Structure 1
Amino acid sequence: MERLIEDIYRSQSRRVLATLIRLLGNFDRAEEALHDAFAAAARTWPRDGVPANPFGWLVSAGRFRAIDHIRRRSRFDMSAKDIEESLYGSFDETEIGNVDLIEDDMLRLIFTCCHPVIPADAQMAMALREICGLTTEEIAHAFLVPAPTVAQRIVRAKNKIRTAKIPYEVPEREELPERLDRVLHVIYLVFNEGYSASSGEEVVRADLTSEAIRLTRLLARLLPHPDVSGLLALLLLQDSRRAARRSSQGGLTLLADQDRGLWDREKIREGLERLDGALRNGEVGIYTLQAAIAAEHARAETPERTDWRRIVGFYDLLLSAQRSPIAELNRAVAVAMVEGAERGLQLVDAILQAGELESYHLAHSARADFLRQLGQKAEAIAAYETALRLCQQAPEQTFLRERISELTAAAERQ
């Protein structure tokens, strides 16, 4: 039963939270109600059984516990009574079975977090925390900033929502475009955390990749736009490789070593179709360019048939549209596939010297791999050890240790 409740928490908690925010009108109150609801489930479900509609049970339980907290914490003056009556009056039991309304709650939440009066960095941090339940540490990893900085941004965003009385709603159609870039970036970061988890025992967090794809589909229905199609294409093409990215023992499998027969051909088909639509319908955005890169991998029947020159060209376009140190790192890897490891090493060294990716383990891992290819074993071992020290994901740590062991053994044989 404990495992079942944990599974329901992972799959349903953010939707429960979104609905509780709408019903309670307050982020902090809704978060407290969410935890109270799951605590109640842990007490009663082992005895009474799992309800037929766990989502509805959790929303109802959280809401009524919020009312109980108001009663206990407040003097029963007019303001407390008004709050309590508003909570009772705003609830319709049929809502918890209305799938469309539940989905709308998620969109309301993401657009509220991305309101233009909230500072951009605080928007992102809060959206990732509240919409997808990423930890402060995971968000810090996504932004390459210290965790306390992320915590301060989230507090700042909540205070702004409260003081500015930002409504919890999907904005009118004419207001959607000004928030679209931020919303897309939030979904993109959610997917990235799921596609390559920053910490923990799993290579992939399928709950996050699936949620990101689901939210993008909802957004595509709400606001058909080439950038939305480009993002959906990118997510589908990347997620198509999910089953091949981990070995039977749960370890990390690099792209070149993946069994392409495990790639999800239906996602590839839809991803390529969405990409074609995005390319035909307006200015090509950054997600469409990234989708075009992913498409080159998807189309290649073998690693050797990958068109790396074309991929480098797409990275050049991407960096001309929006500079990104991580995109520069990925471009360096692509360039190395065309011009050799020595050129790749030169590019990665320049990126690391700039300082922005000094704490990013994949930059040091890429450098180590180039050094390994060039036969510089001692330097490669040192770079892998730096990557290992910075890495927090268990399968990646195992992979890095294996590389270090292989190089150490090879050096001892010489």
Structure 2
Amino acid sequence: MWRREAPHVRAALLRRYGQPDACEDALQDAAEAAAARWPLTGVPDEPRAWLIQVAARRLIDRMRAEEARTRRERLDAARQPVDDTPVTGADDTLRLLFLCCHPALSRPSQVALTLRAVAGLRVEQIAAAYLVPARTMTQRLSRARATLREAGARFTMPPPDALPGRVAAVLDVCHLVFSEGYTRTSGDQLLDVELAEEAIRLTRQVHAALPGHHEVTGALALMLLTHARSPARTDAAGDLVPLADQDRSRWRGDLIDEGVTLLGRALPHGPVGRYQLQAAIAAVHAEAPAFPDTDWMQISVLYDMLSRVAPSPFVTLNQAVAVAMAHGPAVGLALLDPLLADPAMRGHHRLHAVRAHLLELHGDPQAAAEHYRLAARLTGSLPEQRYLNRRLSRLTGVS
């Protein structure tokens, strides 16, 4: 309920008071009040109105304390109801997306602030996506809100000519939200389907606003093609089922068809960006009737293009798997070697999980076991931990 209602409450406060940092503080106050009161009194019939009322009161209280010289004006504002009706012409969530992606902010701050304000991700989840400590991310978010205040940012949609400039950050946000829903960084569930579908909903709104932007189309196609696998990614116990073992009859054909159609519209128009390339890779997987039929050579070529268009450690991880399947595990392992020198990546479970898998394919079970053990220790996801420990047990014979 909090994830669903928080953007609307935040939007109502921003429309009335305009101050992003003050509104965020008031919103958190309302969340704390609800967490303390609702278990005792029950959830109110109109939770959004309740949260708006409490947040507005807390905001006014702060204004009284901080701006005594304008007390009369603030008291008058407090007597006026907060406007919680929908705004015509654009969804509140879309307005929040573009507000948080204000050009006064750096790209990492744009993405981080939007993940917090629009998607409701915890600071720990955002920090994990950026490979930084939670305290560092908290400071980054505080600075971002202060920057918006100093820049005089308003809760309005940018003019049409300014929209494309903010799209790249918005797409990063939507994709990171989707990634957290598709594979949770922590907890006892592998998937958060609601969060993944929220990311798709947001991306659909951006696509509706900018239908001719081919990277937006590519991002939407990527999410649809990837989310299509979700029904087959876990077994009855909620444990991870790797791509090679998934029952592809459970993949959602409607999402695959829509994703392939969108990709077909975007690709011929170039230039080709990272999301179009990633969507093309997902489409190759979707077209294979079974895992052994996967065209790894084509996927390897696409990853080579992606590594030049949008290089990143995680692109290299995925590229190493594709290259290993196409050209042999030794070639894939060589791609991973530079990542072992990166302190941030050395502490990320995915590097060790991929390395363990390729070492296993290479015929080095002892080294593979070492990296499976390390990956299982580093991950915060219990389903991934159980999967990695099963792979470890298969190699060592110890359960």
TM-score, normalising length from structure 2?
Answer: 0.91
Cα distance in 1, alignment partners of residues 129 and 38 from structure 2: 37
Instruction: Figure out how many residues of one structure are paired with residues of the other and give that number.
Output: 397
Change (3 A) 1:245 1:23: farther
2:324 maps to 1:336: yes
Q: What is the CA distance between 1:74 and its match in structure 2?
A: 5.3
Cα distance in 1, alignment partners of residues 31 and 116 from structure 2: 18
2:72 maps to 1:85: no
Amino acid across the alignment from 1:15 = H
Question: Aligned residue for 1:3?
Answer: none
Cα distance in 2, alignment partners of residues 216 and 75 from structure 1: 40
Q: What is the CA distance between 1:387 and its match in structure 2?
A: 1.1
Question: Aligned residue for 2:131?
Answer: 144
2:5 maps to 1:18: no
1:115-134 alignment, distance < 5 Å:
115-134=102-121
- Structure 1: 5+ residue runs without aligned partners? 1-7
- Pick which of 171-180 and 109-118 moved more: 109-118
Q: What is the CA distance between 1:204 and its match in structure 2?
A: 1.3
Does the Cα contact within 8 Å between 1:325 and 1:356 map onto a contact in 2? Answer: no
- Counterpart of 1:310 (choices 285, 294, 298) is 298
The ranges of structure 1 where at least 4 consecutive aligned residues each deviate by more than 6 angstroms after the TM superposition are none
Cα distance in 1, alignment partners of residues 163 and 79 from structure 2: 31
Question: Aligned residue for 1:363?
Answer: 351
Change (3 A) 1:258 1:366: same
What do the CA deviations read for 1:52-110 (whole angstroms, capped 9, x no partner)? x4334432343244335545x35754x13323434555734xx43x3757x62212222
Change (3 A) 1:361 1:50: same
- Counterpart of 2:144 (choices 150, 153, 157) is 157
Q: What is the CA distance between 1:27 and its match in structure 2?
A: 2.8
Percent identity of the aligned residues?
41
Q: What is the CA distance between 1:38 and its match in structure 2?
A: 4.2
Does the Cα contact within 8 Å between 1:243 and 1:263 map onto a contact in 2? Answer: yes
Amino acid across the alignment from 2:246 = Q
Cα distance in 2, alignment partners of residues 277 and 201 from structure 1: 39
Question: Aligned residue for 1:195?
Answer: 182
- Structure 2: 5+ residue runs without aligned partners? none
Amino acid across the alignment from 1:226 = H
Does the Cα contact within 8 Å between 1:308 and 1:338 map onto a contact in 2? Answer: yes
Question: Aligned residue for 1:205?
Answer: 192
What do the CA deviations read for 1:207-266 (whole angstroms, capped 9, x no partner)? 321111111111111122111111000111111111211111011111111111211111
Q: What is the CA distance between 1:277 and its match in structure 2?
A: 1.4
Change (3 A) 1:246 1:18: farther
Amino acid across the alignment from 1:245 = R
Q: What is the CA distance between 1:400 and its match in structure 2?
A: 1.3
Cα distance in 1, alignment partners of residues 278 and 9 from structure 2: 32
Does the Cα contact within 8 Å between 1:70 and 1:84 map onto a contact in 2? Answer: no
Amino acid across the alignment from 2:82 = F
Does the Cα contact within 8 Å between 1:23 and 1:90 map onto a contact in 2? Answer: no
Question: Aligned residue for 2:373?
Answer: 385
Cα distance in 1, alignment partners of residues 396 and 114 from structure 2: 44
Does the Cα contact within 8 Å between 1:268 and 1:298 map onto a contact in 2? Answer: yes
Q: CA RMSD in A?
A: 2.4
Change (3 A) 1:87 1:169: farther
Amino acid across the alignment from 2:309 = A
Q: Secondary structure at the match of 2:278?
A: helix
Q: What is the CA distance between 1:326 and its match in structure 2?
A: 0.9
TM-score, normalising length from structure 1?
Answer: 0.88
Q: What is the CA distance between 1:359 and its match in structure 2?
A: 1.9
